Structure 1
Amino acid sequence: MLRKMAALPSGRVAKWVVLALWTALLVPALMLAGRLGDVEENDNSAWLPGNAESTKVVERAEKFQPADTLPAIVIYDRPAGITSADMAKARADAEAFKGIENVVGQPQGPVKAQDGKAVQTVVQVRKDRTGWEGIGKVVDAMSAVGEKDADGLGFHVTGPAGYASDSIKAFSGGGGLTTITALVVVVILLLTYRSPLLPLLPLLTVGGALVTSEAVIYLLAKNAGLVVNKQTSFILTVLVFGAATDYALLLISRYREELQRHEDRHEAMAEALHRAGPAIIASAATVAVSLLLLMLATLNSTQGLGPACAVGVLVGLLAMVTLMPALLVVCGRWIFWPVKPSYGSAEAAEEGIWTRVGAAVAGRPRIVWIGTALVLGVMATGMFGLRADGLANKDQFTDRPQMAVGEEIQSRHFPAGSGDPVHVVAEAASAERVRTVLSGVPGIADVSTPVIKDGEAMVLGELEDDPSSTAAMRTVERARTAVHAIEGAQAQVGGNTAVTLDTQEAAARDSEVIIPIVLVVVLLILALLLRAIVAPLLLMATVVLSFGAALGVSSLVFNHVFGFAGAEASFPLLTFVFLVALGIDYNIFLVTRVREEALPHGTRRGALTGLSATGGVITSAGVVLAGTFAAMASLPLVFAAELGFAVAFGVLLDTLIVRSVLVTALTLDVGRWMWWPSRLFRRHDAPQEPAGTPDLEPALRGT
């Protein structure tokens, strides 16, 4: 039955049906994928659950100010001192800002700094249906006004609106990310297969999978409430390119083997799908299930990332087991030119690098796995230095955009928190008590007069520190403790700083809850796949150790090489999910082949043969995935650079060391106990090598 199902995509008639169906699917998908940006929600407040305190403040504060506005803080500076002409320009600019579409209300200022070297104006910017893109247009229009006839006067737009504008410009490199990722895949495939034509088929298939994924995600976001943002989009691109190309590599490798054994290419592809399909499907299912567990997150952005990326992986899988086989069979053997696999040709007899690695590991497997585990453990100690407690706005870029420069100038001449206050909403009868208590909170520089409307009051508190800094968030915590203690006030603290604080707390909670669940679920999947207990436990232990080592090295690199100020609170969880899911991916590729070879030859020889047979393709797959994640560094964002580095390094570590050395050594040392309590463990008819060095000759011949 399974063999017949595997033969369907590559049938003599079915292959044309598959191509026709995918062509019909891609026409509407292309149109829908282009509209994904219309449903993105890039505001931090949209990422929070409805029960977050800052979310409730947004709802209660709508009667005092529009909920869809952000402050743009305009900074003018002249080191020699602001002149009367400079002040006149700032006043004229403030009037001109009012004429820009989506600028609302009366600008606050201009106000000259006490040292006389800078001027500040605060402008409220309304978000239209285009979100951050609309804010970016407003900031660009303000910059055109402010920079005109500046005559040496410095001009910068900072604050939340400035941050939103610079962020959208950074994310606008997403098209470049797709191009770079595609180039990485092409180069690695060229080096792997040394064929100028073959890489075109995986690239075409991956492109179709990405477009289809984006179309499905657009429909889910528009009609099912799925929260997606720019972060989702660029992670989806990298993941689909990396994971789907990995599946293509595994399929092509097995197809090439079968072309040497079958004269008919349709039969060769059917056998390749029958042999490689279960491992590919199991790997994709494990990754998809792991990602879907992110739906347990309270943070909407993380909650939406899970199903979006799972859709990408599953669509990539569907493309690689239907469209890719059809394209390969249609093209025939010539697609492998100039080294076409011919029917009846001898199996590769040369001693490959992974055969030699297996021989070296087999000499003293126990010493090898213990030594490797200790080294990985030492590497993992570096993660204690990871500062994953969020980043200030100015620290979220790898370069120095306008808002970061403006924020530095503002902090030198004005209170760092001016223009982006803490919002406290309370019962009107408690307004003065709230104002008094808030003014006594350490870190609050000034407090406004309460504004009362419809039985409620709003009080604004100016922060002494940068509103996106850790110090400001500690001030918000103190403010909440203080105002919550006012009896009958029903006071709640919000504002942009509170939103950031609630986001970090939600991300920390998500990590504590989801990581253990992912471990248990992946362990159960492995147990069902391998029908054993020992092997899944050992494989999970190696993947967790690999994750720890990758996170430890990444932390050291972030702190001492790149000089980053820290990491986002969601960074450990996302890194864990990607590395565990993808690390298990490669273990599934290896161990399913080891199990296949162990049935006739025994576990020890099966381990060596499995490593020799899969080492090349798994290494290529790991390099592809690492390369695609490394391409994230092309975006000038610290989060993208950190996630890209950590996953790329972790994948290479898992592919080159953990999977090839640690897992192989463990399998050789544990022997048939790997499969306990399955039937393979209980079999005594398969040849069992003695405890000493096994006969490596069959493995060296690649049998």
Structure 2
Amino acid sequence: MRFSRSNPVTDEQAPRRRWHPSWLLDWYAACVVWLRWVIVAFWVAAAGASMIYLPAIGQGGSDLGQLISIDNPAVRSEIRSFEKFGFPLLSRVAVVQRDPGGLSAATQAKAIARARAVTEGTYADAKPIIAAVPVTNTLGLVPGSKENSTTIITLLFTAPDVTFADQLEAAKQFAAAHYDADDHVAGVTGSVPARVEQGNLVLSTLPWLELATVAAVFLIVAIAFRSIVAPLLALAVAGVAILLTLHVGGALALRMGVPVPQETQPLLVALLLGVVTDYVVFYLSAVRTQLGEGAGRLEAARRATARFTPIIVTAGATAAAGTGALIVAKSPAFKAFGPGMALAVLIGMLVAVTLVPALLAILGPAALRSPLRRKTVLGRPVEPVLDEAPSGRWSRLLTRRWFGAPVLLVCTGVLIIAALPLQHITLGVSFVEALPASHPARQAAAQAEKGFAEGILSPTELLVQGSGVASREAELTRLQQALARVPGVSAVIGPGDAAIPENLNLFRSRDGSAARYLLIMSDEPLGHTAVQTLSRLDAALPGLVKDAGLTGVETSFGGDTAVAKVIIDQTTQDLGRIAIAALLANLLFLMLFLRAVIAPVLLLGCSVLAIGATLGLTTWLFQDVLGGDGLTFYVPFAVAVLLLALGSDYNIFGIGPAWKEARERPLREALALTLPESARAIRTAAFTLAISFGLLVLVPLRPFQELAFALSVGILIDAFIVRSLLAPALLTVVGSASEWPGRKLFGRVPKSRVEQFEPS
């Protein structure tokens, strides 16, 4: 049994109705084709001007401090501590010395003298370092130390206005100038060096990432279209979009005072290369079809522009709105991330809907020419017969209810099973642990942890404020003992330690109104376990303070673990706002495009299933298999928003043509007719996008490895399971009810044609 695209009213009008959706689109397409040379010149000039006159994204630094609000309670606690004591208790930069066989007494004495000289200003070349404090694991000065006399950590302090990069450079220069081979220096480490080194790794890897992504896109598009010119066209358009995004985004970030770290560049590049290539693939597919049906160069470009521009504009606007929904978050990290992604998609869409048609109008058949391509007989358009190709037969089978229903159940079951690990997903903030195992900063941290405890480099500060609290020695000692008994706390240093000289005033303020403790966690201090330990401690602290006999006091936590706890709490609280905003944005655009409610809700439900399966698989791999202490806090949310937005893109590309055909024929026939072409284009586009995101694994940092896996797997699940199987099967089962509340979406079809489509 065969059927074609013949119009149920008049076959002669079908091509005209198909390729001329409205006079406005005809006018737009004609203008783009007519102004093709002007459009190309404009975008080339715009890209060049942006490079000359506009700053790039990342100008102004990449310090984490830029993405942490001053209202962060942990930051405020550290500021109050500094005001009370005149100097900070916490340092995020340290020089580590270690000898497993034991450091000599002379080496330890030298470390103490060196630190005193720095604090007294003896070393003029040490600036901007203003103080140094040596911490040794000798004689149990730090409770909970794993070894004795093997390790010294010299904590370095600078003024608060010194940038992270300058702090690291000063520490490296200090270590090179004032330590020798006998000092057994393991390296410079801490959360600040780790943060700076992460940025350096990203920027040093970026050229290789771009090269690999460009090569992959070229290869995929060249194979898909059997042409060398087609991938060059795609890369040229993506290159213009990338340049404009990086520089326009940089200018807007500086003007609006919204910091966008340089580390976002790999994700922006991967997103733009993938998304713009998606748009190019759909235009190329349409032009190839038109050329094959006998249209001339300009006419083919005009028809392709008229047909796919509204789809691409809707898809781009949907993706931009979905990623831009992150602006509703309270977390500064998400507020910086969301607009950048939305801007990238919008610029990519604007470039694609103008520059691609213009180039195709100029190149015509040359864009698809290849010695490997079979010659196409040009002439009167030939209506495709679906039964002649396996994809056509499969689409007809999938759009029969008796077959679509089992496919729907199987796909839904598989996605739900894949999503099950999501039940125990945990979040963390990784700095040192995110670095490659071979990196010097991570190796130095490992040496420090061997001599002390896991959280030695990022201890937590507990500040206790109250009138005369510093003189209440017995109560402070009882509180210190209670803190040390909390599971997950390896050691507590504070006013109750007789080994700490009183004249240093490390833990008791001179005015007697404040006392502070240093808590060392048993686990990686920015991982999920340590954050959970601090959460339990925060909840139990009022009872511990009361039991110790301290009344009329205020308490607060500072330090990296406390900062991480606030970030994760903010992220979790943002979940509802982000989810509602992203879902509503995507649902609204789908409803406007399809002029229905049921179908958009069903399609969005499919996307949510795919996202759940993706995050479940990511949790299973990185937590259960690789043993990570939680996913990086922003990864699940960034992945979910991007996949939701890109899934709506594929909804529009995949269902849009069928929805249009369904105005003139039964929905199941429209799906069977359009699925082979749209699914093929979606799979090519999705494979390209998955490779673009998957190559983020070249950045040797754990967050990028998590992003690479989640985004690439999520895109493939969406294209090969959801759009190719689940969504068509679901719409087949629901049928014309998916048009609700519209009544005129699907045209009335003669009974004879319905019977022709029904299985015999």
TM-score normalized with structure 2 length: 0.83
Among candidates 232, 237, 244, match of residue 264 of structure 2: 232
Quote how far apart the aligned CAs of 1:489 are: 3.9
Alignment of 1:545-564 (within 5 A): 545-564=609-628
Among candidates 131, 147, 150, match of residue 181 of structure 2: 150
Contact 1:420 1:462 in 2 (8 A): no
Distance 1:461 1:196 in 2: 63
1:178 aligns to what? 210
2:10 aligns to what? none
Distance 1:678 1:569 in 2: 42
The answer on 1:372 being equivalent to 2:404 is no
Among candidates 685, 690, 700, match of residue 621 of structure 1: 685
2:502 aligns to what? none
Offset from partner CA, 1:358-390 (integer Å, 9 cap, x none) = 13423511122122212222222232243x221
Alignment of 1:566-605 (within 5 A): 566-605=630-669
Quote how far apart the aligned CAs of 1:471 are: 4.9
1:700 aligns to what? none
Among candidates 90, 94, 104, match of residue 73 of structure 1: 94
Contact 1:583 1:654 in 2 (8 A): yes
Offset from partner CA, 1:153-186 (integer Å, 9 cap, x none) = 3512222233224322332222322222222211
User: Is 465-474 or 282-291 further displaced after alignment?
Assistant: 465-474
Distance 2:362 2:327 in 1: 40
1:10 aligns to what? 32
2:132 aligns to what? 107
User: Is 577-586 or 68-77 further displaced after alignment?
Assistant: 68-77
Letter in 2 for 1:221: A
Q: Based on CA coordinates, which of the two structures has the bigger radius of gyration?
A: 2
The answer on 1:662 being equivalent to 2:688 is no
Contact 1:139 1:165 in 2 (8 A): no
**66 and 507 in structure 1: CA distance in 2 versus 1, 3 angstrom threshold:** farther
1:357 aligns to what? 394
Please state whether the residue corresponding to 2:467 is helix, strand or coil: helix
2:46 aligns to what? 25
**522 and 689 in structure 1: CA distance in 2 versus 1, 3 angstrom threshold:** farther
Gaps of 5+ in 2: 1-22, 140-147, 496-505
Distance 1:93 1:331 in 2: 71
2:103 aligns to what? 82
2:422 aligns to what? 383
User: Is 334-343 or 93-102 further displaced after alignment?
Assistant: 93-102
The answer on 1:461 being equivalent to 2:535 is no
Letter in 2 for 1:54: A
User: Is 439-448 or 475-484 further displaced after alignment?
Assistant: 475-484
Quote how far apart the aligned CAs of 1:111 are: 3.4
Quote how far apart the aligned CAs of 1:330 are: 2.2
Please state whether the residue corresponding to 2:607 is helix, strand or coil: helix
Please state whether the residue corresponding to 1:429 is helix, strand or coil: coil
Among candidates 228, 250, 255, match of residue 196 of structure 1: 228
Letter in 2 for 1:354: S
Quote how far apart the aligned CAs of 1:633 are: 0.7
Quote how far apart the aligned CAs of 1:605 are: 1.2
Quote how far apart the aligned CAs of 1:34 are: 5.4
**33 and 418 in structure 1: CA distance in 2 versus 1, 3 angstrom threshold:** same
User: Is 308-317 or 527-536 further displaced after alignment?
Assistant: 527-536
Contact 2:237 2:356 in 1 (8 A): yes
Among candidates 414, 434, 438, match of residue 452 of structure 2: 414
Offset from partner CA, 1:638-658 (integer Å, 9 cap, x none) = 111112211111111111111
1:519 aligns to what? 583
Contact 2:280 2:352 in 1 (8 A): yes
The answer on 1:685 being equivalent to 2:749 is yes
1:117 aligns to what? 150
Distance 2:328 2:591 in 1: 23
Distance 2:398 2:415 in 1: 17
Distance 1:514 1:582 in 2: 16
**630 and 593 in structure 1: CA distance in 2 versus 1, 3 angstrom threshold:** same
The answer on 1:208 being equivalent to 2:240 is yes
Letter in 1 for 2:67: W
**81 and 687 in structure 1: CA distance in 2 versus 1, 3 angstrom threshold:** farther
Alignment of 1:210-289 (within 5 A): 210-261=242-293, 263-289=295-321
2:541 aligns to what? 482
Contact 2:126 2:174 in 1 (8 A): no
Among candidates 442, 445, 450, match of residue 492 of structure 2: 445
Distance 1:686 1:89 in 2: 96
2:193 aligns to what? 162
1:701 aligns to what? none
Quote how far apart the aligned CAs of 1:567 are: 0.4
Contact 1:113 1:413 in 2 (8 A): no
Identity %: 25
Contact 1:673 1:681 in 2 (8 A): no
Distance 1:41 1:57 in 2: 23
Letter in 2 for 1:207: G
Alignment of 1:310-325 (within 5 A): 310-325=342-357
Please state whether the residue corresponding to 1:37 is helix, strand or coil: coil
Quote how far apart the aligned CAs of 1:419 are: 5.3
Distance 1:344 1:431 in 2: 93
Contact 2:75 2:563 in 1 (8 A): yes
Distance 1:416 1:100 in 2: 32
Quote how far apart the aligned CAs of 1:438 are: 5.4
Please state whether the residue corresponding to 1:315 is helix, strand or coil: helix
Among candidates 379, 392, 396, match of residue 344 of structure 1: 379
2:18 aligns to what? none
Please state whether the residue corresponding to 1:207 is helix, strand or coil: helix
User: Is 442-451 or 309-318 further displaced after alignment?
Assistant: 442-451
Contact 1:395 1:564 in 2 (8 A): no
Contact 2:186 2:447 in 1 (8 A): no
The answer on 1:608 being equivalent to 2:654 is no
Distance 1:42 1:491 in 2: 28
**Matched length:** 691
User: Is 486-495 or 601-610 further displaced after alignment?
Assistant: 486-495
Offset from partner CA, 1:528-587 (integer Å, 9 cap, x none) = 211112211211121111112222222222245444332023332222111111112111
Distance 2:255 2:89 in 1: 22
Please state whether the residue corresponding to 1:332 is helix, strand or coil: helix
**682 and 400 in structure 1: CA distance in 2 versus 1, 3 angstrom threshold:** same
Quote how far apart the aligned CAs of 1:72 are: 1.6
1:57 aligns to what? 77
Distance 1:326 1:65 in 2: 65
Quote how far apart the aligned CAs of 1:252 are: 1.4
Distance 2:180 2:360 in 1: 62
Quote how far apart the aligned CAs of 1:594 are: 0.4
Quote how far apart the aligned CAs of 1:527 are: 1.6
**531 and 452 in structure 1: CA distance in 2 versus 1, 3 angstrom threshold:** same
**358 and 541 in structure 1: CA distance in 2 versus 1, 3 angstrom threshold:** same
Quote how far apart the aligned CAs of 1:400 are: 4.0
**306 and 688 in structure 1: CA distance in 2 versus 1, 3 angstrom threshold:** farther
Quote how far apart the aligned CAs of 1:469 are: 4.2
Please state whether the residue corresponding to 2:92 is helix, strand or coil: strand
Distance 1:307 1:20 in 2: 28
Please state whether the residue corresponding to 2:230 is helix, strand or coil: coil
Contact 2:199 2:263 in 1 (8 A): no
User: Is 181-190 or 562-571 further displaced after alignment?
Assistant: 562-571
1:500 aligns to what? 564
